[in-house]
Amino acid sequence: MKSRLGDSAARSLLLPSRARHPPGPSTMTAAENRRVGGLEVVATTGPGVVRLRAWDELVDRTPGTDVTQLSAWARLRGLAGFSALHVLARRDRELVGGAQILTLRLPLIGSIGYLAYGPIIAPGTDDAHAEIRRALTDTLSTLGRHRLRILFVQPPEGADDVSAELLESGFRASTAGIAPAGSIRIDLTDDLAVIKGRFGRKLKSWPNRWAGRGVTVRAGDDRDLPLLVELMGRTAEQQGYTPLPYHYVETLFRELAATGHAALFVGEVNGVPVAADLVTACGDMLRGRLTGFDRSGDASKLSVPAAIRWEIIQWGKARAYRWLDFGGLRPATLDALLGSGEPPPEGWLPVDQPKLTFGGTAFRYPEAVELISPAPLRMGYDLAWGSAGGRRLIAEARALLRGNRPVRGRTIRPGPAGGSAAI
């Protein structure tokens, strides 16, 4: 007999509203301290300014993670109703690892959490790596069983041992997609001639032609944010998705650019802006985050978005970044690249094809995992996958967790410069 979760039930389980919240085990306390071996581990919703500064410094010097682990990202997601739960591990009073979990309370469920590109372990702690990893994974397991009803985890690059240990502790493989499963990137330590030599056949000649065709790229600032949002709207209309609201983009840029973690580039044709890219920077990685392009007129024939990315390559190389990540690939594209390397019979997906023309290297992140408790909730979540309506609502919830849409019923308003925004 085939089980089916009704659309209305699935909606009440998966998407937030201003409805009642259940009391009980999911209620969050401010902080919990524990000793795990030689480490002190704290799980706290109020780490304080000093601890947050140390956490941001750790994130910024750890390869393989992302701005989604910075406290600025937690402030940004706070506009959509999320709260940050920090797990901080110290050895001899030194911060050696941790995680920033973003949590959200859902009606009928309680608090859920997602951890993107974490937990992280401080570089230079090889002698204690296993101990730190066990302390962090043990703490995540405890949180998933006693403070959160659902916990999704996408470990950072190179942390396959974290995925394996979480699976052993009771997590299971996740298809929720809270972060891209993999991406494609360029090694910026290569010579520019080598990088350009890997470009696709049609793209390879363009760097020598853009100037003659009136194509230029300039650095953008906050005055260009209305332009970016307008161009993102053009792209969203063409590709069939809902664009981010202006004030969300504004706050993202304000929070991250102030500390050097975001940069904006604008492509113009004869002085008229037609394309824009916003990249984020963390550790040794630049990552494509937001993009928009007006394809009307002659701009569609001049590869202006590629001109922007060529400028970003040069900009990042000059600032000693190691990688330029193009911002994630669809699973089918990633599987094909890491398999035969050949496009499927129907060709590359249009959303991914522009990322492939630069000749980068595809890679896959460690396996994403999830812990859902208690058992009835896990059963309801699994049943939601069995109906078209349930799958659609899971997709909406995934977009919410990944920051692609605001919480329903909330309006994001800009706050004062340098301060927190109000909802």
CATH assignment of the domain containing 26: 3.40.630.30
Whether 387 and 294 map to the same domain: the answer is no
Q: How many domains does the chain have?
A: 2
In this prediction, residue 374 carries a pLDDT of 79
Whether 356 and 372 map to the same domain: the answer is no
Whether 82 and 167 map to the same domain: the answer is yes
Return the structure tokens found at 256. 């991250």
- Inside any domain, residue 413: no
Whether 64 and 206 map to the same domain: the answer is no
Whether 112 and 198 map to the same domain: the answer is no
Whether 111 and 43 map to the same domain: the answer is yes
- Inside any domain, residue 256: yes
Q: Which residues does 212 contact at the CB level (< 8 Å), separation at least 6?
A: none
In this prediction, residue 381 carries a pLDDT of 75
CA of 145: how far to CAs of 16, 99, 132, 364, 372, in Å? 21, 17, 20, 28, 8
Kindly report whether the peptide bond that precedes residue 414 is cis, defined as omega within 30 degrees of 0: no
Whether 193 and 141 map to the same domain: the answer is no
In this prediction, residue 3 carries a pLDDT of 36
Return the structure tokens found at 86. 């920090």
Q: Which residues does 226 contact at the CB level (< 8 Å), separation at least 6?
A: 246
DSSP 223: G
The answer to whether the Cα torsion of 165, 171, 173, 176 is positive or negative is negative
- Inside any domain, residue 408: no
pLDDT tens, position by position, for the chain (423 residues)?
333 334 444 443 444 443 333 333 334 345 678 787 789 999 999 999 999 999 999 999 999 889 999 999 999 999 889 999 999 999 998 999 999 999 999 887 889 999 999 999 999 998 899 999 999 999 999 999 999 999 999 999 999 999 999 999 999 999 887 788 899 999 999 999 999 999 999 999 999 999 999 999 999 999 999 999 999 999 988 888 888 999 999 999 999 999 999 999 999 999 999 999 999 999 999 999 999 999 988 888 999 999 999 999 999 999 999 999 998 999 999 999 999 888 888 889 888 999 999 999 999 999 999 999 877 777 877 777 777 766 666 666 666 665 545 444 443 333 322 222 221
- Inside any domain, residue 410: no
Q: 210 near 302, Cβ under 8 Å?
A: yes
In this prediction, residue 20 carries a pLDDT of 35
Strands 323-325 and 285-293: parallel
- Inside any domain, residue 370: yes
The string of DSSP letters for 3-23 reads: ----HHHHHHHHS--SS----
Kindly report whether the peptide bond that precedes residue 374 is cis, defined as omega within 30 degrees of 0: yes
Q: Is 409 left (phi over 0), alpha (psi -120 to 50) or beta?
A: left
- Where are the alpha helices (H) located in 114-168, listed in sequence order? 129-146, 160-168
Whether 103 and 195 map to the same domain: the answer is no
- Inside any domain, residue 407: no
Return the structure tokens found at 122. 């401080």
- Inside any domain, residue 418: no
Q: What pTM value is reported for the model?
A: 0.83
Task: Give the relative orientation of helices 388-401 and 375-384 as an angle to the nearest 10 degrees.
Answer: 110
Whether 171 and 193 map to the same domain: the answer is no
Whether 338 and 378 map to the same domain: the answer is no
236 residue type, one letter: A
182-187: strand order across its sheet: 215-220, 262-269, 272-282, 285-293, 323-325, 182-187, 361-364
Cα distance between residue 408 and residue 423, in whole Å: 12
Range of the domain at 293: 182-363
Q: 31 near 413, Cβ under 8 Å?
A: no
Whether 236 and 296 map to the same domain: the answer is yes
In this prediction, residue 266 carries a pLDDT of 98
Whether 199 and 347 map to the same domain: the answer is yes
| Half-sphere exposure for 410 (CA within 13 Å, toward CB) | 25
Q: Which residues does 104 contact at the CB level (< 8 Å), separation at least 6?
A: 16, 81, 82, 83, 111, 112, 113, 400, 401, 407
Q: 159 near 69, Cβ under 8 Å?
A: no
In this prediction, residue 14 carries a pLDDT of 44
Cα distance between residue 386 and residue 384, in whole Å: 5
Pick the last residue of a domain from 334, 363, 392.
Answer: 363
CA of 390: how far to CAs of 229, 369, 396, in Å? 31, 20, 10
- Inside any domain, residue 416: no
